Every structure is written in structure tokens, then in C-alpha cells.
Amino acid sequence: MSALSLKPLAGFNPFPGPVVTVIMDGVGLGPKNESNGVYMAYTPLLDELLQGDLVTRLKAHGTAVGLPSDGDMGNSEVGHNALGSGRVFAQGAKLVNEALMSGAAFSSKAWQEVLRRASTGGTLHLIGLISDGNVHSHVNHLYALLDQCLRDSVNQVRVHGLIDGRDVGPKSALTYFAPLEQRLLQLSVDGRTYRLASGGGRMITTMDRYNADWSVVERGWKAHVLGEGRPFSSACEAIQSYYDEDPAMTDQYMESFVVVEDGKPVGIMEDGDAVILFNFRGDRAIELSRAFDEPDLAEFDRKRVPDLFYAGIMQYDGDAHIPAHYIVEPPAIDRTLGEYLCAAGITSYAISETQKFGHVTYFWNGNKSGYIDDNLETYVEIASDKVTFDLRPWMKAAEITDQVVAAIESGSYKFIRLNLANGDMVGHTGVEISVRIAVETVDLSLKRILAALEKVGGIALITADHGNADCMWTEKNGKRSAMVAHTRNPVPLIIKDYNLKNTFQLSHLEQPGLSNVAATICTLLGYEAPEEYDSSLLVLR
């Protein structure tokens, strides 16, 4: 018997339609007040579905998705890992924390090569998001790297700081950059020079994902590598100047800058240098890693490619080996739901737009690129709009829904999964009217998908990977501030069965989370969940 075999569920009656998993990205369950974009939106179908019998709430943050503590908000990467793997794995921040604290990171081959470069006069460049959002990075990891540089006698360090404003407050950059510049100044003694060298807002500098807009990476390359950009005497001067010039601007869209001294950029990368990207999340790290690693990159003209050593804090794509070198070993996610379904011969279909396509494929499949079995699987990517999503909050939901309805009607797939990105991507803009429209768009898409499922006698499992749209703003001393980060609210789990050949009931687990969804999908498909999976949310009565 195959190690990946699924055992049929006793007493299960097969049914003709598919099981469709809808991931309403960023749609959490928050307090019923004006700050909650999900509550404030007109969502007649979702409101009705939430009153059904097979409905519960899932934990989608903190330890339930492998993050260090329950103070950590969930995110799409770890959420889809948990959804697709059926278990909780120690994730980016936790892995990096442990490796930095234990010192394991500094015994890696990559760190030893960094030290070799530094010992022969090379500069170490540290690139990453400067915040404590703990979604793509944590500033404490940067401080740990700087402390180790001090212990290992690294004399030349340049920090290239990306500005958040998305997983933290929308205009909070100086909270992080001011103490960092002060710390670098304190370290710049006894022959050491540690400086902040360049930066820019994360949505327009360096941190593109899924090949959506390579000009974002090109902008970062110019600032970090070539030293090209608007000059300032310090990062804090740059940030304050941009604030003064455009009070409406938020951090994530801040233009890039370079720090200069005596008219020359302080952080140009040269032959013999070393570079570490200290962001731990993969999706917005892969393209920059390719720019450093690939000798014949075609996506943009790098102008000059110095002979340097590049490493990620982690490996961001295990299958594609991106990057070639990394400081911390990645989580080993195996025996994913996709692998089990392919072993059982079940046909499946996965779709989203560019912004979340990797989530229903790469992250769902345990941080692995490509098909598990292209004879059984179909993956479809709809190109995202290249605009700020508050301007088109409907995004590509209609196009995705068209394709899903066609897939349902085709009868070719037993398992279909899709991600509707609206609640998250528009939630990150903090524009209230757009957030409500985004959630209403999801409700309309659900209506069309469920109508198609009803015709063929299928089952829908509706959930989310984390919250976002469920908190549009926070209030302090009577003043509202846009809330653009993810939330720690629970997310819905809704089962809508249009076949009724089987009778399911909730299993009433004590603290259900996203990792229980994979076993639940097995139940709906008529299989016992693998022994290693967290329990199903349903029992067959």
C-alpha cells in the first residue's frame, strides 16, 4: 500500500458534484461595529450562510499557524501552509528566532562565507523590511544580525531598509528607523562603519511578488546596488522630507532614496561584498533573490552586476532553489493534501489572480513550485491589475468566478480551490468605501459559485486564511487611524452541502484552526484523514 494512500470513509455515499474550497482572503470575524468592513458591507448571502448549521470559527493566527506567540497576526503564507498541509509547522519568524537565539544560523555555510568576504575587506549589506510586523520580517532579527557582526568583527555593514506601513501603522516608519540609525551610529567605533544606506516603500521598492511588476524590483536594485535615487544625508531625513512634501502619502508607497556623504552614496555594492536579505517570508523575496542569483536575468536591465555573495535568511523556494544560499533551514513540509489527493487519483483545480496565485499553489503545496501531478491538476492564474487596489476593489473576482463556474459545470474536477483576494489586498489600503465594495464583491462571487454547485449537487467549504477587512480603523482619544494590517480575529468555516447524500455534523473541537481544514476536505471527499493530520471539523453521522 502506498505511503500516501487514503482510506475510504465507512458509510460514505459518493455524490456527483465537486468539493469547492473558497478562501475569502482577509475576511475575518470581528466586532459588529463601524470599524468592521465585513460587518458594514452589504453581504446578504454571507449573512445567511453564517446562520447555517455547519458553521464554526477557526483560529488563524499565532501558535495555531506556527507563529511564535498568539500575539502574532496570521498571514496568507502561513495560512495557506496550514490549510494545505493539515498540520502546524514552525514558521518563518519562529524558525528564524530559534536559529538566531541558538546560534545555529551563524554556523551555516552561508554565514561563514559572509565572514570570509568581510575578512578580506568586503562590506556586508543587509536588506529587509524594517518593522516588527512579523509577517515578512522582524526588526529584532536585524538587530541580532548586527550584534553577531560585532562579535565576528565585521567592520563594514550597510543596511538597506524597506518601509512597511502595511503590517504596522501606515505612517510609522520613524518609529523603527530613528532607533536603528542611532544604534548603527553607536556601533560605528573602533574602525567599524555601520550605516543605513538606502530604502523605499515596500509596495514600490524591491518587494514585488508573483512577477506582478518587475519595475518594483528594478527600483530597489537601483537604490540598493547601484546607489541611484534621490539623495539624503540620512534615512530619517528622507522619510521626514517625504512626509512633509505629501502629508497624504503612506509608508508602503514612499519613493526610494539613497543616503549620501560628501556627494557619494554610502552603500553602493561592489565586487567582494556580501548581501543578506533578512525577510523570512518567501513571496516578496523571490524576485530580488533571482536578480542577485541569475546570471542572465531578462526581466530588467541591471546595468551592473557586482561579483558578490548573496544569501536569504531562509530559502524562499525549495523546488527552484531560490536563493542558492541561505542562513536558516526552511520548514520541511511534507505529505500535503495535494500529494494525498493526487495519490488517490482525484482531479483538482486551483485558481486565483496573480496576487494570490502562489498561495493556492506554492504555499498550499508546502512551499513547492509546480504541479504535483499535471495529469490530475490544473492551475490557473488570472493577471492582477497593476493599480492600487482601492481604485478597483472588485479586482479579478468576476474573472475567477467565471472560470470556477465553468470548472464546476465541466464535471472534470472533484476538488476545486480558489482564493478571492479582495478582502486582503483592498483591506491593506485602509480606504473604507473600497474595503466594503471588496467584501461585497466576494459575496456576489459566492452567490454565483454556490448557484453552480447547487445545479450539479456539490459541496462548498468556505473559509479565510486570516482577517484584514474586518478592521478598517482603530480609534484612540477620539481620533481614527487607518488599520491596514492583518487582524487576529477568527475566520469563518462554512459548509454548504447541496447533495445531501451524507449527513455531516460538526465535531466540536476545542480550539479549531486552519490546520483542521485539510482533514475536513478529506471527510467531504469520502476519505479518512491521514493519521498525522489535525482532526476533521466534521463527522459523518
Mind telling me the catalytic residues?
A: 76
* C-alpha to C-alpha distance for 513 and 503, rounded to whole angstroms: 22
Strands (E), 414-469: 415-420, 459-463
Residue 523 vs residues 14, 268, 366, 530: alpha-carbon distances, Å: 11, 56, 21, 11
**For residue 296, with 0-12 CB atoms within 10 Å meaning exposed, 13-18 middle and 19 or more buried, which class applies?**
exposed
Q: Which residue has the cell 512634501?
A: 245
* Of 421, 453, 452, residue with least CA distance to 435: 421
* C-alpha to C-alpha distance for 136 and 92, rounded to whole angstroms: 8
What is the amino acid identity at position 410?
S
* Of 68, 59, 72, residue with least CA distance to 89: 68
Residue 388 vs residues 204, 210, 308, 395, 532: alpha-carbon distances, Å: 11, 16, 35, 10, 41
362 Cβ contact partners less than 8 Å away, ≥ 6 residues apart: 282, 283, 317, 368, 369
Structural contact between residues 61 and 485, judged by C-beta atoms closer than 8 angstroms = no
Query: DSSP label at 86?
Result: S
Peptide bond into 323 cis (omega under 30): yes
